[in-house]
Structure 1
Amino acid sequence: MIYRTVGIFAHIDSGKTTLTERILFESGRISAIGTIEDGNTESDQLPEEIERGISIRTTFHTVPWNTKFGDFEIQLIDTPGHIDFRNQVTDLLPAMETAIVILEAGTGVQSQARLVIEELRKANIPIVFFINKLDRFGDEYLDTLVSLEEILKQPPVTLFQKRQSGGWEYFLESEDSFSKQTKEELLSFDDELLLRYWNDESSATELPSLALRQGTEKTKLYPVYGGSAKTGEGVRELLNLVLWTNPKEIQLSSEVPLIVLSRRTDPQIGRYAVVYSVTNLSVSEICQRLEALQKKQETTHLSQVGQSSFSSFLTNPISFLSSDSESPETTLTKGKLYYLVADERIRMEPGQSVSIPGLSTLDLKNQISEKTPSPFSVVLEPEISSEKEFWLCRLRELEWEDPGYQLELREETGQIVLFGRGELHLEIGIRRITGKTEKKLMFSSINIAKIELLKKMSHKVALEHRAFEDQKSSGALIAVLEDTADFSKQIAFEVSLPEEVKHSIETSFMEACLRGFYGEEVCGLRFRILSYEIPPGDLQTTLTLLKVAILAGVKECFPSNTYLVGPLTEIEVMVDADHLGVVLSDLSRRNAKVVSIEEAVAGKSHLKANASAENLLGFSGALRNMTKGIGISWERTAFTSEFYAVLKE
């Protein structure tokens, strides 16, 4: 049996879940095809997915598939399309062998598909494109190919064509029907293969299909098939094409050669992770590797925590379950997905290798990166304080399954802050934790991060404070307050000072920046100290007065020299002419900037706009009400020194 891990990626509403459903039906895994409208698909089973008609969680399916060149078990991964759930997509890439990217006929390559194509290419993952919905748009896919060529910076190879009798024919099944030009396009990535083909066409008939297999693996060829996920046209042919091409060879230098794709919770087995096995290996061999590592590290004083974890690992190995069985596995097969039962002895971060704390294993990102706080958050508070632990338990389960959520406990108020990747992300998270319980949880409206950003300026200040009837002075501090190129706060000394004086100046400056004119933290400024002479007398009194001088002097500069800024949100909407006016009116009311309006297919307009995330809260729901069902096609919110919205002047 040959195992292949294949991911399905696309812009939202392009047909990922529909294609997955059709593949499961064609393989015999299901006897009837579910639909998103009826809420009975195999992929979308969460109540929130069924209600909204979108995928919010990655799903894994095992699909047997027989071809004339081998028997396969496809490990099919259906990914979410909405930007709020992008972390689930990027977590899969280290173990992705081949990607199917669905494009929608009748339009150019849409924004979310563009992003995922860039990510897949950066990770050197072979891509097979499938132009969907040809049952609706027929031959209207030229714009899609032109747009795709612009993204790839090279022409994709179209390997399907219309039959004279109707329907479509595909290269692998009907190679002789395709032109010499198409075959040369397949061979063009390798000059040697192309020369062999030109020199002896009659004896080199296998070269085009060989080039298709090798060129796709090397990401030098991008084959394109087309059809309809809904009707099944071209779906079997698509799978044959995917399996014909060589997969990416997944490599990992680690004592535990397992890559975590996703984390889940199951009523029977509890917490577990879906992992990809990079090599053929037994659990006992993993233990031997770790034992050898421990011996190598004995001279470096392995931590007591590491020793404890390692010892318990040897005496009680971690449990692996195969993806299609509840029986524990003792030997792992290369390329196969397994369920790894969660264990406090091991670290399982999505997108990284499994590791044992205290042992220096090399994970995929070399180290666990610091999580950047999201600009979106809600404040949570149990209605009954004694139920706080119940809600924390639910929130931790949510954070376990989706690390895009982050928890913060406010000890001073007892409140819980939940950070999320966007408005939809938080709304769905709250729905998930509050479902199936009569306990009440109070939560705030969604909060948006804000800061005050120093305007472009360079302001020289002389700071001094006197007390005790002017008998005591802080001394005159001459400094320049100037902007930086980012959101940082910096202090620079151009004069030599004692360490306690420097520390007092630094802490006073940072304290002054905590609350600006609008009541938010002030960022994007540098405090450059040009001169300071310490007056005679008690140093502690001087430092106290100096702190007052800095706090008052720096704060005086804020009222006319800071912007209140927050995250900027970019949106795209495909809206019909009947609703365009009312959508534009609502965007105007929210102070949104319309970037472009382009005419698309079937009387629809492709609308792009941006506004502060604060102003666009609730717009998604309002849009569905205004248009009787249409939602935002694509959305991105970011908060960086180059990408932000000015909220007040």
Structure 2
Amino acid sequence: MIYRTIGIFAHIDSGKTTLTERILFEAGVISAIGTIEDGNTESDQLQEEIERGISIRTSFHTVPWKTSFGTFEIQLIDTPGHIDFRNQVTDLLPAMETAIVILEAGTVVQSQARLVMEELRKANVPIVFFINKLDRFGEEYLDTLVSLEEILQIPPVSLFQKGKSGHWEYYLQNESAFSKSVKEEILTWEEDSLLAFWKEGNDSSNLPKLSLKKGTKEGKLFPVYGGSAKTGEGVRELLDLVLWTEPKEINEDSRSPFLVLSRRTDPEIGRYAVVYPTLSIHKREIEKLLLGNLTPHHLHPQKALGIPETNGGDKKEISFLSPVSLDPLDPIIKGKLGVLLAHPGLTMEPGKPVLPKTSLDHIPDPNWNEATPSPFSVVLEPDLSSEKEFWLCRLEELVWEDPGYRLELREETGQMVLYGRGELHLEIGIRRISEKTEKKLNCSSINIAKLELFKKMSHKVALEHRAFEDQKSSGALIAVLEDTADFSKHIAFEVSLPEEVKHTIETSFMEACLHGFYGEEVCGLRLRVLAYEMPKGDLQTTLTLLKVAILAGVKECFPSNTYLVCPLTEIEVMVDADHLGVVLSDLSRRNAKVVSIFEAVAGKSHLKANASAQNLLGFSGALRNMTKGIGISWERTAFTSEFYAVLKE
């Protein structure tokens, strides 16, 4: 048996889930094809997925498949398309052997597909393209190929064509139907093979097929098939093509036998991770590798810290199970996906190898993840204080499954703050934790992160504060306030000072930056200390007065010298002509900037715009109402020193 891990990637609504459903049907895994409209597909099991008609989390499927060149077990992975769940896609890349990227006929390559192609190529994952929806758009895929060539910077190789009977023909199944020029196109990347092909002068030469097999793996060749996921045309042929090409070799990691693809929670077995074994190994060898150097407190970190144990805290062995039957597996086979139960002595971060916890200092905080903190957040408070532990448990399970969320506890107020990647991400997260319970959770409106950015300038200041009828002084501090190139803030000393004085200057400056003219944290500035005349007398009194001088003096510089900024959101919408005017009008009311509008296909216009994330809150719902169902096809929100929106200046 040959195991192949294959991911399906695409722009939102291009047909990933429909293709997955068709593959499962063609392989005999399911007896009837479900649809997104009916909410009965194998990939979308969450209530939110069924109601919204979108994939929220990655789904894994085992597909048996026989070809003329081998018998395979395909480990098919259907990925979410929405940008808010992007981390679930990138987490898969270290263990991805081959990728199917779906393109939609009748239009250029869309933004989400562009993004995933870039990430796949960086990760050296072989790509096979499938132009979908040819049942609707016929032979209207030339623009797609032209757009694809522009992105790849090399011509993709179209290996399907309309036959004399009116049906599509595919290269691997009917090689003789394709012209010599197509075979030469396959061989172009490999000069020696091309010269050998010319020398042979034989149309039945096996060189093009071998070159196709190798060139795709090396990222020198990008084969393209086309058809319809809905009707099944070209789907079986697509699988044969993908399996014919050589997969990416996933290298062994001497530190760990597993790569984590995704995390889940099951009512019966608790927390677990879907993992990719990077080598064949027996269970006893795994335990020796991962747990051999751990002491008892590493195996029970919760107990060592006085935290109640949850989810298998008493387990001392590693449990690796079949993803289908949940039966224990031993030995583990390289490349065959499995389920690894959460273990108190192991870290299991998506997209990374499973590693032992070597010290208490490295135990991850359950309320924090390493992802970049999101600019979107909501404040949560239980209706009854006695229910706080219940909601904390649900929130921690949400963060476990999707590290794109982050949970923060505010000790001073007792409130819980949930951070997410976007408006939709947070909305779905709250809906998920609120399912199947009558307990009430109070939620604030979505909060958008804001900062005050120091204007590009250099401002010299002389800071001094006197007290006790001017008998005591902080001393004269001469400094320059200047902007930085990013959102950072720091201090540069150009004079030698005692450590106590430096510490007072640093802490006072940082405290002064906490609340600017608009009430937000001030960033993008540096305090460059040029000189300081320290007065005689009591040091503690001097330091206290120095703090007051810095707090007052720095804050005096903020009015008219800072401007309020927030995240910027970019959107793309495919909208028909009847609704374009009302959509543009709503964007204008939200102070959005229209970047481009061009006619795409079937009377629809492709609209790109951007605005502050604050102004675009709720726009997705308003858009669906305006257009009777059409939603945003792509959305990205970011908050960096190069990518932000100005609110007040």
Cα 1:332–1:303, aligned 2, differ >3 Å: closer, same or farther? closer
Task: Kindly indicate whether residue 457 of structure 2 is the aligned counterpart of residue 441 of structure 1.
Answer: no
Correspondence for 1:44: 44
Correspondence for 1:329: 329
Q: How far off is 1:307 after superposition?
A: 7.7
Q: Is the 1:287–1:314 Cα contact (8 Å) retained in structure 2?
A: no
Task: Kindly indicate whether residue 84 of structure 2 is the aligned counterpart of residue 95 of structure 1.
Answer: no
The residue correspondences of 1:25-174 to structure 2 (distance < 5 A) are: 25-174=25-174
Task: Kindly indicate whether residue 403 of structure 2 is the aligned counterpart of residue 403 of structure 1.
Answer: yes
Task: Kindly indicate whether residue 582 of structure 2 is the aligned counterpart of residue 616 of structure 1.
Answer: no
Cα 1:506–1:315, aligned 2, differ >3 Å: closer, same or farther? closer
Letter in 2 for 1:609: A
- Taking the aligned partners of 1:313 and 1:265, their CA distance within structure 2 comes to 15
Letter in 2 for 1:521: E
TM-score (norm 2): 0.95
- Taking the aligned partners of 2:54 and 2:457, their CA distance within structure 1 comes to 47
Cα 1:283–1:397, aligned 2, differ >3 Å: closer, same or farther? same
Q: Is the 1:265–1:271 Cα contact (8 Å) retained in structure 2?
A: yes
- Taking the aligned partners of 2:412 and 2:190, their CA distance within structure 1 comes to 66
- Taking the aligned partners of 1:314 and 1:190, their CA distance within structure 2 comes to 57
Letter in 1 for 2:210: L
Q: Is the 1:305–1:358 Cα contact (8 Å) retained in structure 2?
A: no
- Deviation string 1:21-54 (CA, Å, 9 cap, x unpaired) is 1001111111111111111111111111111111
Q: How far off is 1:203 after superposition?
A: 8.2
Cα 1:308–1:450, aligned 2, differ >3 Å: closer, same or farther? closer
Correspondence for 1:495: 495
- Deviation string 1:267-294 (CA, Å, 9 cap, x unpaired) is 2212111111111111122234458x74
SS of match in other structure, 2:275: strand
Letter in 2 for 1:642: E
Q: Is the 1:374–1:420 Cα contact (8 Å) retained in structure 2?
A: yes
Q: Is the 2:107–2:600 Cα contact (8 Å) retained in structure 1?
A: yes
- Taking the aligned partners of 1:313 and 1:615, their CA distance within structure 2 comes to 46
Q: How far off is 1:201 after superposition?
A: 2.5
Q: Is the 2:252–2:279 Cα contact (8 Å) retained in structure 1?
A: no
- Taking the aligned partners of 1:551 and 1:102, their CA distance within structure 2 comes to 57
Cα 1:501–1:303, aligned 2, differ >3 Å: closer, same or farther? farther
- Taking the aligned partners of 2:359 and 2:187, their CA distance within structure 1 comes to 47
- Deviation string 1:498-521 (CA, Å, 9 cap, x unpaired) is 111111111111111010000000
What is the total number of aligned residue pairs between the two structures? 633
Task: Kindly indicate whether residue 566 of structure 2 is the aligned counterpart of residue 566 of structure 1.
Answer: yes
- Taking the aligned partners of 1:594 and 1:444, their CA distance within structure 2 comes to 30
Q: How far off is 1:89 after superposition?
A: 0.3
Correspondence for 1:256: 256
Correspondence for 1:639: 639
- Taking the aligned partners of 2:625 and 2:320, their CA distance within structure 1 comes to 47
Cα 1:230–1:203, aligned 2, differ >3 Å: closer, same or farther? closer
Q: Is the 1:197–1:204 Cα contact (8 Å) retained in structure 2?
A: no
Cα 1:316–1:383, aligned 2, differ >3 Å: closer, same or farther? closer
Q: Is the 2:5–2:96 Cα contact (8 Å) retained in structure 1?
A: yes
**Which runs of 4 or more aligned residues in structure 1 lie more than 6 Å from their structure 2 counterparts after TM superposition?**
312-315
- Deviation string 1:604-637 (CA, Å, 9 cap, x unpaired) is 0000000000100000000001000000000000
Deviates more, 1:15-24 or 1:270-279: 270-279
Correspondence for 1:541: 541
Q: Is the 1:574–1:604 Cα contact (8 Å) retained in structure 2?
A: yes
Q: How far off is 1:530 after superposition?
A: 0.9
Q: Is the 1:405–1:421 Cα contact (8 Å) retained in structure 2?
A: yes
Letter in 2 for 1:167: H
Q: Is the 1:479–1:531 Cα contact (8 Å) retained in structure 2?
A: yes
- Taking the aligned partners of 2:473 and 2:266, their CA distance within structure 1 comes to 67
Q: Is the 1:255–1:286 Cα contact (8 Å) retained in structure 2?
A: no
Q: Is the 1:213–1:245 Cα contact (8 Å) retained in structure 2?
A: yes
Q: How far off is 1:211 after superposition?
A: 0.4
- Taking the aligned partners of 2:277 and 2:333, their CA distance within structure 1 comes to 7
SS of match in other structure, 2:41: coil
Correspondence for 2:199: 199
- Taking the aligned partners of 1:450 and 1:289, their CA distance within structure 2 comes to 46
- Deviation string 1:569-625 (CA, Å, 9 cap, x unpaired) is 000000000000000011001100000001110000000000000100000000001
Letter in 1 for 2:400: W
- Deviation string 1:172-224 (CA, Å, 9 cap, x unpaired) is 00111111111111111111111111111328710000000000111111000
SS of match in other structure, 1:75: strand
Q: How far off is 1:347 after superposition?
A: 1.3
Task: Kindly indicate whether residue 602 of structure 2 is the aligned counterpart of residue 602 of structure 1.
Answer: yes
- Taking the aligned partners of 2:410 and 2:641, their CA distance within structure 1 comes to 28
Letter in 2 for 1:17: T
The residue correspondences of 1:426-505 to structure 2 (distance < 5 A) are: 426-505=426-505
Q: Is the 2:450–2:565 Cα contact (8 Å) retained in structure 1?
A: yes
Q: How far off is 1:371 after superposition?
A: 2.9
Q: Is the 1:8–1:101 Cα contact (8 Å) retained in structure 2?
A: yes
The CA RMSD measured in Å over matched residues stands at 1.9
- Deviation string 1:123-142 (CA, Å, 9 cap, x unpaired) is 00000000000001111101
- Taking the aligned partners of 2:412 and 2:90, their CA distance within structure 1 comes to 36
Cα 1:270–1:315, aligned 2, differ >3 Å: closer, same or farther? closer
Q: Is the 1:264–1:401 Cα contact (8 Å) retained in structure 2?
A: yes
The gaps in structure 1 that reach 5 residues or longer are 295-301, 361-367
The gaps in structure 2 that reach 5 residues or longer are 302-311, 361-367
SS of match in other structure, 2:517: coil
